[in-house]
Amino acid sequence: MNKFTLAPIALAIALTGCGVSNTSTTSEVKSTVEQVQQLAATNPFSKKWGTPHEIPNFEVIKTSHYLPAFTAAIAQQKQEINSIVTNSAEPTFANTIEAIEFSGNLLDKVAGVFYNLTGAETNDDLKAIAKEVSPLLSAHSDDISLNSDLFKRIEVVYKQKENLDLTIAQQKLLEDTYVGFVRSGAKLDEAQKEKIRDLNTQLAALTLQFGDNLLAETNSFEVVIDDKTKLAGLSESVIAAAAQTAIERGHAGKWVFTTHRPSITPFLTYAKDRELRKQLYLGYTNRANNDNKFDNKKTLAKIASLRATKAQLMGYKSHAHFVLEDRVAKTPTAVYELLNKIWPAALAKAKVEVSDMQKLVDEQGGNFKIAAWDYPFYAEQIRKARYDIDEEQTRPYFALESTLKGVFDTANKLFGITVKERTDLPTYHDDVRTFEIYEADGTYIGLFLADHYVRPGKRGGAWMNSYRKQYNMNGEDVTPIIVNVLNYPRPTATQPALLTFDQASTLFHEFGHGLHGLLSDGKYRSQTGTSVPRDFVEFPSQVMENWMLQPEVLATFAKHYKTGEVIPQELVDKIQAASQFNQGFATTEYMAATLLDLNWHSLEDDKIRDTATFEKESLEQLGLISEIDPRYRSTYFAHIFSGGYSAGYYSYIWSDVFGSDAFAAFQENGLFDRKTADAFRKNILSSGGSDDALKLYRQFRGKDASIEPLLRSRGLIK
């Protein structure tokens, strides 16, 4: 994911609702009216888009529209909250809790477009606006959660909860609203509230700066090669893509490799030139760690310090304790217990893998010890020798277009949904494709946007997000607009976009998130789609990945892009046999990053740490071997320092426990068993955060999730 939410500040607003610190004055109300009226006259955000399915009209939105739209939207929501606070009627669920929930539609509309674009199609102007808007949104969010008069009304309703005739979703909304305000500082004294405001403002600016620095470093680094002999080992498709990148970067006639995944991954896996592998690898692992204006070491250390300060102000030992209280895991101890069940087996397997690779190096006459930049290269050689397979054998069978069809067909067999592409809808970039999603009976569900190709204005990785979530307000059903953003290599002049098996699997993964948003069926925006605990949100997407490996699924779409030949069963068997290969490395590098995250966010004081020293000591305590780096080093660990995963990167493996156990249900009952699929849709995909996550899982599975399917799927136990 994640990929898969708005920027943290905008997300906080969407989830908690916004307010003012006190009731508005007459002049403030007049100012609000004037701002909204002015917006209506000049700004496309002020009215309905007038497009099919109310998709944002990207063709008329200008950069100059965002700041006034944000300003007016904030002012409008302040007035909406003021109406709640000044309501002379006794506080009720409807006039207080639901009223907060339903406030801020304009702000949600503006933020939904803006923050999607700052991730997928940013530029210097949008970055400048983000920096200007960030403190405004931070202050606005604080004006809600620290509003004493507003909280008093919430508290009155909350104390009556046992006597109110509420649905399960309403009970959850009441509980989440009350707890959310308390966790935001509603019960603090005025001095403490001012401190919280200051901390939030600083954190908003720092996390934004971290992301900007990382994007700049990722886009700027390149390895330019002018001697084709140095490309030995690389496939023609990879070489062609590098030539195209060279043209785009002003090095026509040469070959350019970057730290973007579609470029660096095949190079590290197949390039025979060890020095160039080292150069590119170090370029990747030293991003934002070069003591220049984009260096993130001091920025992230300050973020960790401020988070620790804020947590202790709220009465918690550490940021991790604060964050995890609101998750399925509940405590850092529970997370460490899970990780400690997996780490020893993963590290032991990784050491065996390294030993096997070192033997290969020695047999080939290499006079060196395996280093981190050698790992992918020699692991691939062993995989090819052991399973007689390499990625280049499979790539021709995973053209993007056919793989996308495979994803859609799988969803159709599971849930009965159908897909219709539209080519007449406005988009924010020519790369973007739009699809209407329908039920089997023809009922319209929502709109799905797919943005597949790597480009400079897009941050790295893959994620799902929503331009508009599904919800119901005043009897009106609002349909979702969901987007998947990825970073695949573009088609070349001679061939379509061809995916590695892992990239194809990611397509399934992200559409699993997409289904979570599209098949949502709830009333309240703060509960629909992926609005579930962070350590539960990856679970639906991880389940979806499992269908990629099934022979009957592969046979429907994995076809050679030239001949149309279905992927041979022999090759499928090899893929399955190799699926557990190198899982020691994959699990260990992930776990190392997870534990690094927990260490940064388990700090119990506000001392500013030296980033390099802190990271080195953390990894040494784990016993991490030198041949493996954590999946993310601190300076480019965007998930935790500019995303929403602080003290939460463990969520992927925690969710994978649910994902592996859930797929076991399909294995037991049939891969496309409709009863199982319907139960999964009803209790997981459609329910979102309308009830307790563990309760919903038990309703689907009939039991708690077991860790054994996860360990078996990774080959860590027999």
Q: Please give the structure tokens belonging to residue 390.
A: 């390499």
**Burial class (CB within 10 angstroms; exposed 0-12, middle 13-18, buried 19+) of 484:** buried
Could you give the CA distance from residue 300 to residue 36 in angstroms, rounded to a whole number? 38
Could you give the CA distance from residue 252 to residue 295 in angstroms, rounded to a whole number? 30
> What DSSP element (H or E) covers 107?
helix 105-120
Q: What DSSP assignment string belongs to 45-64?
A: GGS---SGGG---TTT--HH
Nearest alpha-carbon partner for 468 in 450, 449, 485: 449
Q: Would you call 487 helix, strand, or coil by DSSP?
A: strand
Q: Which residues pair with 428 in a beta bridge?
A: none
Q: Please give the structure tokens belonging to residue 136.
A: 């405004």
Residue with tokens 């994978």: 656
Residue with tokens 């009803």: 682
Cβ atoms 319, 601 nearer than 8 A:
yes
Q: Would you call 123 helix, strand, or coil by DSSP?
A: coil
Cβ atoms 134, 5 nearer than 8 A:
no
Could you give the CA distance from residue 274 to residue 297 in angstroms, rounded to a whole number? 29
Question: Buried (b) or exposed (e) across 539-549, using 16+ Cβ within 10 A?
Answer: bbbbbbbbbbb
> What DSSP element (H or E) covers 447?
strand 444-453
User: Which candidate in 353, 392, 510, 545 is catalytic?
Assistant: 510
Q: Please give the structure tokens belonging to residue 695.
A: 């309760």
Q: Please give the structure tokens belonging to residue 445.
A: 């569900």
Query: What counts of helices (H) and strands (E) characterise the chain?
Result: 30, 9
Could you give the CA distance from residue 256 to residue 560 in angstroms, rounded to a whole number? 28
Could you give the CA distance from residue 104 to residue 593 in angstroms, rounded to a whole number? 37
Which letter does DSSP use for residue 430 in this model? T
Q: Would you call 590 helix, strand, or coil by DSSP?
A: helix
Strands 481-488 and 444-453 turn out to be parallel
Q: Please give the structure tokens belonging to residue 304.
A: 């960790």
Strands 463-468 and 481-488 turn out to be antiparallel
Alpha-carbon distances, residue 347 vs 4, 156, 280, 551, 583 (angstroms): 30, 53, 26, 31, 10
Cβ atoms 180, 146 nearer than 8 A:
no
Which letter does DSSP use for residue 163 in this model? G
Alpha-carbon distances, residue 179 vs 148, 172, 174, 176, 272 (angstroms): 14, 10, 9, 5, 56
Helix axis angle, 8-16 to 168-183, nearest 10°: 130
Nearest alpha-carbon partner for 373 in 230, 460, 290, 276: 276
Q: Please give the structure tokens belonging to residue 515.
A: 């289904």
**Burial class (CB within 10 angstroms; exposed 0-12, middle 13-18, buried 19+) of 704:** exposed
Q: Report CA dihedral (566, 570, 576, 582) to the nearest 10 degrees.
A: -110
Cβ atoms 181, 145 nearer than 8 A:
yes
Q: Please give the structure tokens belonging to residue 259.
A: 């730290």
- Whether 538 sits among the annotated catalytic residues: the reply is no
Phi, psi of 467 (to 5 degrees): -80, -30
Q: Which residues are CB-contacts of 44 (< 8 A; sequence separation ≥ 6)?
A: 57, 60, 61, 65
As annotated, the active-site residues are 510
